[in-house]
A and B are shown apart, each in its own frame.
Chain A
Amino acid sequence: MSNIDPMLMRQIIMDHYDYPRNKELTKDNGYMSRHMASDSCIDDITVQTKISDGKIDDIRFDGVACTISTASTSIMSELLKGKTTQEAKEIMDNYFKMIDQKEYDEDVLDEAIAFQNVGKQANRINCATIGWKAMREMIKESEDGKDE
């Protein structure tokens, strides 16, 4: 576990909650979309992404959600945008390991390490992963489409 200053990590979350990045949906063509409506009855988040040739061109989201859901999805959108789906999958894999309190590579997670203690409040794990799960599903869908 990283020993980064808790004050700093709290500031990261507050900043992404007060000023969420990429928080605007688009009607442009070529975007996949996931409305995460069945995971939780309280957070209501939609995530969109544009993936072409195995590269994530854009990630957007919107919805009504708590501090942790909003900030974790905002950070995810910044972190994965511009990455290849392979790179994104490795980052996500490490993020989910961190949330599950397993060994993970913090170097690839950047600001997302702010959520390393979220498991202390077990019922909030879903908040820290809701946007990430949406993205994981859409990357899988983009790859499944390629195989056909």
Chain B
Amino acid sequence: MDISKIRKDFPILTRKMSDKPLVYLDNGATTLKPQPVIDAVVNYYTYLGANAHRGDYEMSAQVDAAFEGARVRTQKFLNAKHKEEIVFTSGSSEGLNLVAMMVTEQLLHEGDVILSDESEHASSILPWMQAGKKKGTKIDYIPLDEEGKITVENFKSVLTDQVKVVAIAMVSNVLGFVAPVKEIAKICHERGILLVIDGAQSTPHLNIDVQDLDCDFYAFSAHKMCGPTGVGALYGKKKWLDQLEPIFYGGESNARFDKSCSLTLKETPLKFESGTQPIEGVIGMAAAMDYLDAIGKENIHAHEVELKEYFLKKAKALGNIVVYNENAKSGIVTFNVKDKDQMIFAQDVASYLNTFGIAVRSGQHCAKLLPEVLKTPGTCRASFYLYNTKEEVDQLIDALKNATVENCVSIFF
């Protein structure tokens, strides 16, 4: 993997932040876009132009080919069995909300239990909490181990006959641990439990094979894997998608309806795609898949893990860095900085790093239940991707060396 060549694909890497060269280490939040993705999006606006699934003219047919081509591309990206199992969405959050609403309303009953855990992102767990309020379903939590991981043993320990759904992330957005999805899927299906996977943090970094994982639903966002914002996909096994009724209704999802309110929906997946879709986004997402696969996700992941190991070695030598997820094999480092005996508030550290042109995230990273597990109100998160370098890790370490409360306050003067 030639990082300097890869970096040339990302025009934004030439910009500055706080008058310093940009060191972008917030890839868990969103990723930067390479030229082929930008070109694909722009090509829709400068050449393709028409709506999808509608016209009897050449432009529209070209859009259809690109749009439905992106569906097949996504099918291959996840190794889904059928292209009909790919529903375009606005991203992971929408996909997970749709599943929670449809499944709770149409398949669950009062007293049924959804199993989740305390490391979940809001988008993975909140939709089930809210959808369940009317129905009377409840959430139970898989106990996390001392490192904050989901283990098969802990999962088994909370299984009851009331559990009908398991909703977890394949990779935690704060800690970066990979959940044992395949093993959990096997146990779920022995008991008729649906397995819903938040793939927001796994899809950009790991090869995903939904048939091998054998999950029932899998949602992800394009923007966390070099694609456009506002677009993503929801994978669902065809038998479930065929059975479920959509949440939204409108143009393109129906075949016909009449004054007596009789409605015939289109087949899966179009019945879930009411209204004009983010066509340029879908096309850009497919370009991002081409881009990542050409480099190879196993290479990308190995590079991220190498950067994390490099950071850990240097951070240990500094002595003032507390790392919360040392053993997670991913490009996510969750840490705080100590000034003598005092932990510096994460947001103070993040603002301090900004003055060096370094972008990291601070806070709870949308996982609001996790602070109790980590026993800290907030953390800083540096998350690496394919374009990050050891030199950038050095810059981060150099800045953290002098991160004191006093220096964090000094940025305001």
Contacts and interface: CB of A to CB of B under 8 A. Distances in A.
Contact of A66 (B345, B354, B364, B411): B345
B172 to A, nearest CB: 18
Given A17-B405, A67-B409, A121-B354, A42 B348 contact: no
Interface stretch (A7-15, A19-27, A54-62, A81-89): A7-15
B168 to A, nearest CB: 22
Contacts of B413: 6, 9-10, 117
Interface in B227-247: none
B345 A67 contact: yes
Interface string B398-413: 0000000110111111
B346 interface: yes
B369 to A, nearest CB: 13
B247 to A, nearest CB: 27
A41 B364 contact: yes
A44 B351 contact: no
Contact of B408 (A41, A67, A115, A117): A67
5 contacts: A10-B410, A13-B412, A41-B363, A118-B412, A121-B351
A10 B409 contact: yes
Interface residues of B, number: 20
Interface string B376-413: 01100000000000000000000000000110111111
B313 to A, nearest CB: 29
B277 interface: no
Contacts of A120: 411-412
Interface in B325-352: 345-348, 351
Interface of A: 6, 9-10, 13-14, 17-18, 41-44, 64-68, 115, 117-118, 120-121, 123-124, 127
Q: Which one of A44, A67, A123, A127 has the highest number of Cβ atoms from chain B below 10 Å of its Cβ? A: A67
Contacts of B351: 121, 123-124
B362 A42 contact: yes
B354 A64 contact: no
Nearest to B410: A10
Contacts of A64: 377
Contacts of A10: 406, 409-410, 412-413
A53 B354 CA distance: 46
Contacts of B347: 42-43, 66, 124, 127
B372 to A, nearest CB: 13
A63 to B, nearest CB: 10
Contacts of B412: 10, 13, 68, 115, 117-118, 120-121, 124
Nearest to A43: B347
Contact of B378 (A9, A42, A124): A42
Contacts of A6: 413
Contacts of A44: 377
Contacts of B368: 41
Contact of B409 (A14, A41, A42, A43): A14
A13 B407 CA distance: 12
A41 B345 CA distance: 13
Q: Quick one: which of A43, A66, A115, A124 has the most chain B CB within 10 A?
A: A66
A118 B348 CA distance: 12
B107 to A, nearest CB: 32
Contact of A17 (B346, B354, B377, B409): B409
A67 B354 contact: no
Given A120-B411, A124-B351, 15 more contacts: A9-B413, A10-B410, A13-B412, A14-B409, A17-B405, A42-B362, A42-B364, A42-B377, A42-B378, A44-B377, A64-B377, A66-B345, A67-B345, A67-B409, A120-B412
Contacts of B346: 42
Contacts of B354: 121
A42 B363 CA distance: 6
Contacts of B362: 42
A64 B378 CA distance: 10
A6 B412 CA distance: 9
Nearest to A128: B412
Contact of A67 (B348, B364, B377): B348
Closest 6 CB pairs of A and B: A6-B413, A66-B345, A42-B363, A64-B377, A66-B347, A117-B412
A14 B411 contact: no
Contacts of A118: 412
A76 to B, nearest CB: 17
Contacts of A67: 345, 348, 405, 408-409
A41 B362 CA distance: 10
Nearest to A127: B347
Nearest to A66: B345
A14 B348 contact: no
A58 to B, nearest CB: 26
Nearest to A116: B412
A112 to B, nearest CB: 13
A143 B362 CA distance: 38
A6 B346 CA distance: 23
